[in-house]
Amino acid sequence: MKKHNFNSGPSILPQEVLQQASEAVLDFNGIGLSILEIGHRTSWFVEVINEARALVKELMQLGEDYDVLFLQGGATTQFMQVPLNLLDKDAAAAYCVNGIWGDKAVKEAKIFGNVNVVSSTKDKNHSYIQKDFSVPSDNVYLHYTSNNTVEGTQWHTTPNTNLPLIADMSSDIFSRPVDFSKHSLIYAGAQKNAGAAGVTIVVVKKDILGKTNRNISPIMDYRKHIEADALLNTPPVFAVYVSILTLRWIKKEGGLVEMEKRAKERADLLYSTLDSLPVFAPIVAKKDRSLMNATFTTHNKELENLFLEECKQQGMIGVKGHRSVGGLRVSMYNAMPISSVQALVDLMIDFNRRNG
């Protein structure tokens, strides 16, 4: 039985992407070699990485002033690599902290320079987004997390700032049109909406690079990766390939506009159910709710466990909240069919009737 996969990441991928990826592991494009066996400097792979880089730009409608990299190390490594490349020891960067990922980004940045937490929503357990705050004009960038995977909040507008804007879009990249060109750097682990675990997409506006005095380790230097056409060292070949399959799928299905439409349908169905049923209560302020990750609670811990048990029985996985916050969480990424959300909603209605 195919499961209903509400995992927060690694998470659901389109079935046709899985099919194509599985075939490529046996024979890549009929060349008589597995995708796992081809050199990264062969024309076979160079075509893959070039198409991947071009597709990212196309979906984001970005021009020549941007470059796209497919790096390793996860978004967590970007928490480090961003300040390493951009933040001098004596300089300061501004961070919006809306949850545990923003918090970790701050911890890494502090190793490299000064950090201004210009906005924190910790006062209310990060159950909302604070959109008004001021940023010292001498800060070198403003960093925010566009979608808070753990807490279930999302920025529905891009932060307004004159500073170079940097976004951790790990959990909502390619799920909606955004004015990407307002950003100077965007990064995302691929394992939600953009492929499998093991590759991190970094989109960087080239004019922000090369401005620190730091002697940056070559392998950590964005410029070195750009100069090497994204082949500075062996890239995670298979993970890049899964990303390209996923990006092709997004484009074919109608691009980011269509992804957003589907995300809204799924989220509307789920949140309206949560709002209407007495047993369930969404955690996040209505206007800041994430279209990707819905967090909610039940009356008490026993009901929660009972509900989780029933989900499990019906093949619905990943419904448990993140270990740092508890409660319940349902993740609904691009590849999630509305039928899975409908099945969950049906269970919720029935569960509410029996336990209300």
Ligand X SMILES: Cc1ncc(COP(=O)(O)O)c(C=O)c1O
- Active-site option among 67, 103, 155, 192: 192
Q: Which does 328 bind (CB under 5 to 8 A by kind): Mg ion, a copy of itself, ligand X, none?
A: none
Task: Count how many residues are written for the chain.
Answer: 356
Residue type, 250: I
Q: What residues between 281 and 320 interact with Mg ion by CB under 5 A?
A: 281
- Look up residue 322 and give its DSSP letter: P
Known active-site residue 132: no
Known active-site residue 89: no
- Active-site option among 67, 168, 172, 221: 168
CA 350 to the chain's CA centroid? 32
Residue 297: how many other CB atoms lie within 10 Å: 18
CA distance 292 to 191: 13
Q: Which does 228 bind (CB under 5 to 8 A by kind): Mg ion, a copy of itself, ligand X, none?
A: none
We find the least distance from the C-beta atom of residue 63 to ligand X, in angstroms, to be 26
66: which strand partners? 205
CA distance 158 to 256: 16
Q: How many residues bind Mg ion (CB under 5 A)?
A: 9
Half-sphere exposure of residue 118, counting CA atoms within 13 Å on the CB side? Answer: 22
Residue 261: how many other CB atoms lie within 10 Å: 12
309 binds a copy of itself (CB under 8 A): no
With CB under 8 A as the contact rule, the residue among 255, 318, 327, 337 that binds a copy of itself is 318
With CB under 8 A as the contact rule, the residue among 34, 181, 272, 324 that binds a copy of itself is 34
Backbone angles phi, psi at 270, to 5 degrees: -70, -50
Q: Where are the alpha helices (DSSP H) in 158-284?
A: 222-227, 237-253, 255-276
We find the least distance from the C-beta atom of residue 333 to a copy of itself, in angstroms, to be 10
Known active-site residue 192: yes
Q: What residues between 74 and 133 interact with a copy of itself by CB under 8 A?
A: 74-77, 79-80, 84, 107-108, 111
Residues designated as active site: 101, 168, 192
Where on the chain is the footprint of a copy of itself (CB under 8 A)? 1-3, 5, 7-13, 18-19, 21-23, 25-26, 31-34, 36-41, 72-77, 79-80, 84, 107-108, 111, 189, 191, 196-199, 215-220, 232-239, 242, 315, 317-318, 323
